[in-house]
Structure 1
Amino acid sequence: MFIEPSITGERRGWIEVVCGSMFSGKTEELIRRLKRAKIANLKVEIFKPAIDIRYNETQVVSHDANAIQSTPIDNSQTILLMATGVDVVGIDEAQFFDAEIMHVCETLAARGTRVIVAGLDMDYLGKPFGPMPQLLAIADYITKLHAICVKCGNIASISYRKTAQAGQVLLGEKDTYEPRCRKCYNEKE
């Protein structure tokens, strides 16, 4: 995709959402799209929630150790302040942002910015996660990625939590979560 100027010379913005379970390649896809935008000499800014320090405090890092520099933020409104004059905005782990992230994305797109958002569409209980349902509803383009079920090898869409710890937000990696298909998730063994 590219930013296409309109007849009047103004850029057209849009919202892309990349979603799926853990280990499905969401962050890898976000990084790929952002690196391609940089190759095209577009001005790119990347943001992530400040609470996500699993791999690095200031980089968006995929489970495959692919990385890109980012700005950690606590409040989605900060993106509007920091993205002035930017062609492409990348947002990782969108499920951890406040509900205003939807309005931030709409504002950026209305300004002519391409917005690429990545996040978990469901939590470990298989329920919609944070602001992701609203982002999916307003997205111009949606890419749903799937992992591979560690139990049976089929397509996985749910992040199974291997610990008994409660609470919707629990940062973790392969020691805490594994991808499962619907059938194996419901077996919970």
Structure 2
Amino acid sequence: MLNDEVNKTLEVLKSGGIILYPTDTIWGLGCDATNAAAVEKIFRLKGRDSGKSMIILLDDVNKLDSYVRDVPEIAYDLIEYSEHPLTIVYSGAKNLAPNVGHSDGSIGIRIVKHKFCAELIKRFRKPIVSTSANISMQPSPANFMQISDDIINAVDYVVDLEQDDLTQKRSSIIMKLEPGGQFSFIRR
């Protein structure tokens, strides 16, 4: 089942499509984080201001250097020891679609521990976008049952895993990490 869903989802990502998928936090809308046209589709679907950045997911901390110019050493410890899913906003994004990050050149990245997400990203060999599965300014859905039909019907593929899990999940902690190692919390 997991392998079948990864295969189906990979085809959609490779073709520039949008997926609706379970993550280590809440359900997300995703696409290839290196494909500007795909990222734009998510902005339009959510009705989100294109000046706002999106989070990207990676499966391995060793891939950070591929998408961030200078990863502060403390980032590795923060990721390893965080008890909750942690998104870190880094300065100096690189090798990503220009519209996925913030206008100041920063990008939010979370290393996932979710089995489906990790396998998908590993096999895709690129980061994927992860933004909440809601219309902009609406509440983020805590589980699949709270996702609006407008979202479900607008994506190219809905991953057929964990849809009956009614656990009330929450978004990740977001921390801004400066190149010198100073950090501040954006969302706890």
Q: What TM-score range do you get, normalising by the shorter chain? A: under 0.3
Higher helix share goes to which structure? 2
TM-score by length of 2: 0.27
TM-score by length of 1: 0.27
Higher strand share goes to which structure? 1
